[in-house]
Structure formats: C-alpha cells, structure tokens
Amino acid sequence: EDKVVQSPLSLVVHEGDTVTLNCSYEVTNFRSLLWYKQEKKAPTFLFMLTSSGIEKKSGRLSSILDKKELFSILNITATQTGDSAIYLCALSPSGNTPLVFGKGTRLSVIA
Amino acid sequence: NAGVMQNPRHLVRRRGQEARLRCSPMKGHSHVYWYRQLPEEGLKFMVYLQKENIIDESGMPKERFSAEFPKEGPSILRIQQVVRGDSAAYFCASSPRLGGKNTEAFFGQGTRLTVV
C-alpha cells in the first residue's frame, strides 16, 4: 500500500529561524511528489518533484527529492508568521491513482 | 479563470438528514477527486471521477456515501443519514488529465460539514 509519513507532526519556531520538514514515502510506482501549504482552507500547491537531486525553489521555500532513499524535504528560511500553516506532502503514483497525502506538519511561527 | 468552486462552504445537518456537497472543477478539467479531512488528520482520498464515470471509489465508505459527476453540472458528493462521525472538511480537487504536464491537483476551498 502506498504510504506517506511526515515529520515532525508539529513544530513551533521563532521568526527568522530556518525549518526543515520531512516526508518519507513508500510507493509501488512513483510518478511525482507534491508539497502543499494549507492555511485556513484549501491546500495550495507549492512544488512538484519528479527527479532526484534537483532542488525546486520559490522565494524562501525550497524542496528536494531523494528517490533512492524515498524522502523529500521542504526548507523554509527566514521564517515569517505568515508561514504558519499545515504543510502537506502528497504522493502521485503512476497510472490512474489519486494523490496519497501524509498527515501534514503543523508549523507555527511566533514573533 | 475561476478556480475549483465548492458549495456550500459550511453545512450543518442533524443526525439522519442528507448532506449534498457540490464541486465545480476548473474550466477544462475533466478529473475530479473528493477528499475528507478529519481534525488533526491529513487529506484522505474518497473517490475519483471523470465525467459520467466513477474511476476509483476505494476510499468511499460502503454505505450512505455516493458520488457522481454528470455530463452537465457539478460533481456531487452525497451523504445519506448523516452521523456525528461524518463531521469533517470535504475537499474537492480537479486536474486536467492524468499523465499530462500539469499533474498537480487544484483544490477547492472545501465544505465544512457539521452534524449535530
């Protein structure tokens, strides 16, 4: 069974800190791994990763995938209170199979 | 181009009533997915539909839950005889097609169902 495990489940940091969120997975047929940010409502798409070792970057956020060790990390540098959210990692297996989500990491950034 | 639209945003039902949740996918998207999110949990897949077809309903409870995506109109998730345990946020996502360039799903704002 395809599975996604995120750690930590929750994290509290101060503004300006750098955080690393982890996502490990098990999958039969891998297509891609996706990261979402969920604030009060809908998850919003952050990154899609398909190849190992290629860092995706968007402002202070970056993410990388290791297909050999079956994990991905999401880094946020110089955190701000607006980064407070649940960060969801999702696996997109190949074929007509929908996304499989982890439980998420709840990040709280305090001033 | 409007995003994925879900309505209602909030729905309160008494135990035993029916709940109908609607989802209009993004324009040009023919794949719709329903997910349920319980408090402190991640998103759990329920059902995947294309127009007039249920492709995968492996995440749907066997009783009381049904989903459709008709040729015209929104996708509907229907919960009959609701119970307190059905209280959750229900999210709909759409994507253009699997196997294409953009395989990320776009999510609606969700419907928060509260059963009293």
pLDDT, tens digit (0-9, with 9 covering 90-100), for B31-60: 899 999 987 778 899 999 998 899 889 899
Taking only residues 5 to 24 of chain B, the set having a beta carbon closer than 8 angstroms to any beta carbon of chain A reads none
Q: Which amino acid belongs to residue B37?
A: Q
Which one of A28-37, A82-91, B27-36 scores highest in mean pLDDT?
A: A82-91
For β-strands A61-66 and B75-79, DSSP reports them as: unpaired
Q: Report whether A107 contacts A83 (CB < 8 A).
A: yes
pLDDT value of residue B100? 46
pLDDT value of residue B38? 85
Q: Which residues from A are below 8 Å from B93, CB to CB?
A: 99
Q: How far is B41 from chain A (nearest CA, A)?
A: 5
pLDDT, tens digit (0-9, with 9 covering 90-100), for A34-85: 999 998 778 888 999 998 988 999 999 999 999 999 999 999 999 999 999 9
The one-character DSSP state at B105 is -
Q: Report whether B11 contacts B113 (CB < 8 A).
A: yes
The residue-averaged pLDDT of B74-102 equals 85
Q: Report whether B66 contacts B34 (CB < 8 A).
A: no
Q: Which residues from A are below 8 Å from B4, CB to CB?
A: 42
Return the structure tokens found at A39. Answer: 């604030």
- Kindly give, in sequence order, each residue whose CB lies less than 8 Å from that of residue B43, ignoring residues fewer than 6 positions away: A43, A88, A90, A99, A101, B35, B36, B37, B91
pLDDT, tens digit (0-9, with 9 covering 90-100), for B97-114: 654 444 677 899 999 999
Q: Answer yes or no: is pLDDT of A99 > 50.
A: yes
Exposed e or buried b per residue across A43-75, where buried means at least 16 C-beta atoms within 10 angstroms of its C-beta: bebbbbbeeeeeebeeeebebbbebeeebbbbe
Question: What is the torsion angle, in degrees rounded to the nearest 10, for the CA atoms of residue A77, residue A78, residue A83 and residue A86?
Answer: 40
CB contact under 8 A, A99 and B33: yes
DSSP 3-state assignment of B85? helix
